[in-house]
Amino acid sequence: MSEILITFNPGSSTIKLGLYRMAEDGPVRLGRGVIDLRRTPLLLHVVEGPTVADIPLRAEVTEDLHELIDETLGWLSDHFALQGIAAAGHRVVHGGDAFSGATLITDDTLATIARFVDLAPLHQPQSLRLIRAIRHLRPDLPQTASFDTAFHRTQSDIVRRFALPREMFDAGIKRYGFHGLSYKFVASRLRELAPDLAAGRVVAAHLGSGASLCALENGESRDTSMGFSTLDGIPMATRCGALDPGVVIHLLKQQGQSLASVEDILYHRSGLLGVSGISADSRDLLGSDQPAAREAIELFTHRIAQEIAALATTLGGLDAVIFTAGIGEHQPAIRAEVCARLAWLGITLDDNANAANATRIDAQDSEVGVLVIPTDEEQVIAIEACALLKSSREA
């Protein structure tokens, strides 16, 4: 019986699943799924080749997720022979400076992962719950962790440093960067699609509910918009993006708000939702005739264009821009507005290609390539997990 690998990619409101057969030359995808934590009852959406199924789940979201994962594995086992499951791989948003690559999960690594909960409060606790749920249900099952922050370890200290007392940098207060699994996949896919561009200076824009941009040189991270936490950079669905720290001081000191209240504002009540007062979903805002909705979209695209220009400064030029993730892959209007703001760089779009979400959407006379590359974080988790398991077995 073939060994099966299951991957978990937790978000703040969903858990993405990947199912792979562990072949000699790497993982082969069998299917994928998403648990929508916003639905009542919970819904497991599964894609297996051309077959799509929506399965209501009886379990509820609890602190330990044991019942939810048990029910999910039970349903999947009926369709994918999960009695042959060999390992579980997890996306973990924050690994700090403790992890420079994927790792097998032990008691020590799990304790280290737990230390970074405060730096990624929307995602890190979910990863820990999933890891612990698998440990509870299948205590002998090997588990691996793939870290978003690890991809950015190629950045220089100049890029990672804040202008704070030196001892704070040494204590870990620095720019880490996130969405690393997405950027790793996109960089590898670009090498297949356009090796000449992949060897050059590229800015990739991961635009989803969480959003960031990354400066890539020959496929390696040189700079990124997100820094110490997942709040930094461009505005997101409900997160504020870059913010004058004096605003936080003002809210705490002059307005007397509690730390919990300020945290709630910055993570859950800001971004597109906060500016528009309507929705955190850019699709809703694009379809709205309300001035506040239009202003939220303009702020979003303005800040994305600003970040692309800033990251091009780090790279010393710009050969290509890549759009990826939910908004980046599927919303031509957002891409068009961003690129229109960068026309001074010589960027022009092919309107028909952009409307069709084609891979190459730059016009023939564009001085900068523009691509749409769907990301696949689960594939990166699977590749890293298979490599770790193979190495551990050969040791």
Tokens 């995808």 — which residue? 29
Q: Which of 324, 120, 330 is nearest to 204 (CA)?
A: 324
Question: Pairing between strand 43-48 and 85-92?
Answer: unpaired
- Is the C-alpha dihedral spanning 96, 99, 103, 105 positive or negative? negative
Contacting residues for 266 by C-beta, under 8 A, at least 6 apart: 231, 239, 240, 243, 248
Rounded to a whole number, what is the distance in angstroms from the first to the last CA of the chain? 24
Alpha carbons 375 and 329: distance in angstroms, whole number:
9
Exactly one of 148, 223, 232, 319 is catalytic; which is it?
148
Look up 97 and say whether it is catalytic.
Answer: no
Q: What radius of gyration do the chain's Cα atoms show?
A: 21
Q: Helices (H), strands (E): how many in the chain?
A: 16, 13
- Residue 212 host element (H or E): strand 211-217
Contacting residues for 371 by C-beta, under 8 A, at least 6 apart: 190, 193, 194, 197, 320, 321, 322, 323, 359, 360, 361, 362
Q: Which amino acid is at 190?
A: L
Alpha carbons 338 and 343: distance in angstroms, whole number:
9
Contacting residues for 310 by C-beta, under 8 A, at least 6 apart: none
Which pair of structure tokens corresponds to residue 69?
């994962």
Tokens 């307005």 — which residue? 255
Alpha carbons 358 and 43: distance in angstroms, whole number:
31
Tokens 């997720």 — which residue? 65
Q: Which residues are catalytic?
A: 148
